[in-house]
Amino acid sequence: MLAAQGNLTIAIGQTEQSTSALRPQLSATASAGQTFTFVGYANQPSAVALGLALTQLLYDFGRTRDQIRQQQALQRSAEQNVSVTMVSVTLQVKQDYYSFLQAKDDVDLEAADVANRKRQLEEASARVTSGIGAPSDLVQAKTNQAEANISLVSFRNAALSAQVQLALDLGIDPRTPISPVATQEQPVAEEGNLKALVTTALSQRPDVHSAREQLAAATYGLAAAKKGLLPVVTVSAGAGGTGVSDPFVSQFGTVSLGLTWTFSDGGSTAGQIKQQVGASQVARANLDTVSQQAIADVSNASVDLAAALQRLELSQTESLNAQELVRISEGLYDGGLGQFLDITNAQASLVTAQTNLVQAKADVQRARARLRYAIGAMA
């Protein structure tokens, strides 16, 4: 962001610099010296001179104005590039924020799995102690609890890594504790209408606007280059004085109208014209590329969102079914009608289903964030 703002400041300065050519130019001169004669009469006495001159451009067939318009277009392009950076940073922060939320939810799920495995271990131990359970059930329960604890450690490490990445995105010390608040992306207007989304993207994406301004700048640059050999009319006024020791002994004033017409500059203008023609071609091609990329981004994000919403619906059903399967398996085992292996498999299926649900929820948020980025939304 700071680099993009710095580039904008440069562009603003260049615009101001080019605009100054239309304003009066004021200069002052002062000199003191001795004139030496090598052949002829004696040396002249030393002289002191002061002068003040004012020059104003009157007419150059619009060349300077085209150059100013070129810089103004480049400034607007730089302004849009600040927005490009802003939406890119926003997307990155959102993506990693939702990944951090997902990692935190995974830790909570795994902690719940550890608690369930502990409860199932206690149940298997009680049945073995009472002589109605198989010793293999106790071994399996201990193994399940150990695996759950290992997974919990792994998920905690993943959550810590996600927190560090989010801190880096925010530009803060990676060691800074972060407590995320569960949040959701608001649905995008007409998120199911691909044609409308593409129209919105082409009308408001800052990179598309930047490319258009680059093309406008190249067009103005070409117009200015074509006027390189046309006459330039200026008006000047000046005042000054000179004397042997006092510059105000002799005072004078001047007013003049100047015409400068370069008939040949050795091919410099022709080279500038070719350069600006090439710049226009590059800018037009870049605009086409950026526009096509915008359409592709919207299309991909729209498809990803639709798929994520479908996965979310299926994952919710899968999670409910898995919870019911665990309840049934535990009930059958408690009644002596089921096997502990059924509980093991059902609990594993529940963890998988709940993990898939957390993943699906995060995918929906990330997909909406990408779609918002694709259409050029600023938040």
- DSSP characters for 22-49? GS-EEEEEEEEE----SSSSPPPPPEEE
Within a domain: 365: yes
Tokens standing for 237?
């006024």
In tens, the pLDDT along 13-22 reads 999 999 999 8
Closest CA to 251 of 260, 242, 238: 242
For residue 330, give the DSSP letter. Answer: H
Could you tell me how many helices (H) and strands (E) the chain has, helices first? Answer: 7, 4
Whole-number Å distance between alpha carbons of 167 and 151? 24
For residue 335, give the DSSP letter. Answer: T
Within a domain: 329: yes
CA 358 and chain centroid, separation: 28
Within a domain: 200: yes
**With 0-12 CB in 10 A as exposed, 13-18 as middle and 19+ as buried, what is 74?**
buried
Within a domain: 237: no
Domain total for the chain? 1
Longest dimension (CA), the chain: 137
Query: Quick count: other Cβ atoms within 10 Å of Cβ 115?
Result: 12
pLDDT at 43: 57
pLDDT at 20: 92
Closest CA to 305 of 357, 371, 354, 214: 371
Whole-number Å distance between alpha carbons of 162 and 362? 13
If DSSP codes are grouped into helix, strand and coil, which group holds residue 260? strand
CA 314 and chain centroid, separation: 34
**pLDDT, tens digit only, all 379 positions of the chain:** 889 999 999 999 999 999 999 899 999 988 887 666 666 555 556 678 888 999 999 999 999 999 999 999 999 999 999 999 999 999 999 999 999 999 999 999 999 989 988 988 888 888 788 877 778 888 888 898 899 999 999 999 999 999 999 999 988 898 888 888 888 888 888 888 999 999 999 999 999 999 999 999 999 999 999 998 999 999 999 888 887 777 777 888 889 999 989 888 889 999 999 999 999 999 999 999 999 999 999 999 999 999 999 999 999 999 999 999 989 988 887 877 778 888 888 888 999 999 999 999 999 999 999 999 999 987 7
**Would you say how long the chain is, in residues?**
379
Closest CA to 48 of 254, 249, 252, 253: 249
Handedness of CA 94, 158, 310, 297 (dihedral sign): positive
Backbone dihedral angles phi then psi of residue 255, each to the nearest 5 degrees: -135, 130
Within a domain: 260: no
Within a domain: 344: yes
pLDDT at 359: 92
Residue 144 structural domain: 2-19+54-230+272-374
pLDDT at 121: 87
Q: pTM, whole model, 2 decimals?
A: 0.78
Within a domain: 333: yes
**With 0-12 CB in 10 A as exposed, 13-18 as middle and 19+ as buried, what is 164?**
middle
Whole-number Å distance between alpha carbons of 152 and 117? 12
Tokens standing for 342?
């059924």
Tokens standing for 354?
């709940």
Contact 340, 137 (CB under 8 A): yes
Within a domain: 253: no
**With 0-12 CB in 10 A as exposed, 13-18 as middle and 19+ as buried, what is 248?**
exposed
pLDDT at 266: 87
Closest CA to 241 of 49, 53, 33, 28: 49
| Single-letter residue type at 312 | L
pLDDT at 136: 85
Sequence-ordered list of residues with C-beta below 8 angstroms from that of 275, at least 6 positions apart, any chain: 225
CATH at residue 142? 1.20.1600.10
